[in-house]
Every structure is written in structure tokens, then in C-alpha cells.
Amino acid sequence: MRILRHSPATFGLLLVFGLQFSILNLPASPPSAATPADLGRGLTYVRLQRLPDDAAQLTAVWKAPALIIDLRHPTGAAAHALPADLPSRPRTAPLFLLVGPGTPTDLLAALRDHAPALITIGLAAPGLTPDITLSVNPEADARAYAALEAGAPIESLISENSTKHRFDEAALARDRDSGETEDEGPKSKVEGREDVPPITAAAPAPVAAKSAAPEKPLKDTVLERAVQLHRALLALGKLPRS
């Protein structure tokens, strides 16, 4: 089953489907950035920063049903050799390759030879045009990448937690049973009684200075897009169920 060579319009459709699937059910205690991370539903994430030193890491996750390899910010020598005994991945096993200006093109080409279902996602660079190109500030991308190294939970970098006020149905039921509404509370029940002095309006409380808007949570847009695309492919039945 082929999942590659989709048109840009098809990729857009896949991403729309992917946004409908939650990515919040990730492991509560994610491993460090140097260790492969289980992102759920058969998807594994690993960083390759120094080859051949990372060869054992790559071999350990290579047979995962779906794999994200992060090649955005490699370090070390210019030589990037894959393990000689690395087999080819099946066409039904997607490999999402996160790329950027620092991605070694020779390693990208070698991985493509071993993974027919390879999709590159990330920032464009001279000589590198990802299958899915994202308009992300390179500095913001670098900060998000470094955050995982600094100990940030991986789920915090690929999801947004919306804080909404909960509607208290129990309180509403109590008000309804007592005959009170939001406009007719205890105050209206005492107004007009002779034994109760008239209620005078209290002086308005001083308006507090408006606090600064909270800083927007750091988000790894490139990694998040790979997870969304994986969920979209699952939703459309393009991948085997793990």
C-alpha cells in the first residue's frame, strides 16, 4: 500500500483529518531527548544527532510501524553513515523525516533508499525542498528543539491546552429549585421590605492594572505536523492498525 507521492491538495486533506484526532494521550513520563519516545498508536520518535554513534538507537526503532526521525540539528562530524545491515522498511511503514537547514543531504538520501514510504517535513534550505514545507521561524524552531533537551515534556511541545471555564450545572440546578436566577438573586427578595433599610450602591472597586499577557507556550510545529499527518493517515485507512 503506497502512501507517498500525494499531491499538495491531498496532503492538505490529510492534515485536515489529522487535526480531528487528539494527540493529547501521550505517555505521562516521556523519555529524554536522547531516548526514542513512544507517541502512541504505533508511532515512535527518535533524534539522530551524531552518526555512526547513534546507529544502535536507529537500529532499535527501525522496525516501528511508523517512525519520526529528527534530522534538523545534527552535531559532530560530517560523515553520516547508516548501519551496513539496515534493512529496507516496508512501503506501508511511513518514515516522517524532520528536516531543516542543518540536515545532511547525504544522510537524507541514504534514508530514502532504505524507506520507500519516506516523507520529509520541515524548513526549506538551499538544495532541500521538503515534501511538506512549513513557514516556521528558524530561531523558534531551534528553541522548540532545544526545549526537549532541557527536559520539557514532549506532549507540551506538540499540543495546546485550552483552559475554558466549566459550566456548573449543579449550581444552576440549585438556583432553579430555589426560584433564583442570575438576574433575581437574594438581593431582589429583600428590596421593598419595610424592615430592611434601602440598599445603597457600593463604591466601585479600583480597577487593577491590566497584567501582561501570558507568554505563549513553546510549540514544536514541525514535530506536531508529523504527528498530525500520522493520525490523518490512520484515519483514512492508509496505514495498518497496530
Backbone angles phi, psi at 123, to 5 degrees: -95, 135
pTM value? 0.67
The CATH code of the domain that includes 154 is: 3.90.226
Would you give per-residue pLDDT tens digits along the chain (242 residues)? 455 455 555 555 555 444 444 344 444 434 445 689 999 999 999 998 887 788 888 999 999 999 999 999 887 655 567 888 999 999 999 999 999 998 988 889 999 999 999 999 999 999 999 999 999 999 999 999 999 889 899 999 987 443 333 334 454 455 445 554 444 444 444 455 555 555 555 666 666 666 666 667 789 999 999 999 999 999 999 887 76
Report the number of distinct structural domains present in the chain.
Answer: 1
Does residue 186 fall inside a structural domain? no
User: Is 153 a member of any domain?
Assistant: yes
Asked if the structure places residue 124 within a domain, the reply is yes
Does residue 212 fall inside a structural domain?
A: no
Domain that holds residue 108: 8-22+32-77+89-159+217-235
Give the CA radius of gyration of the chain. Answer: 26
The closest alpha carbon to 133, from 148, 147, 123, belongs to: 123
Residue 165 forms part of a structural domain: no
Query: Looking at the domain assignment, is residue 126 inside a domain?
Result: yes
Q: Is residue 178 in a domain? A: no
Residue 181 is assigned to a structural domain of this protein? no
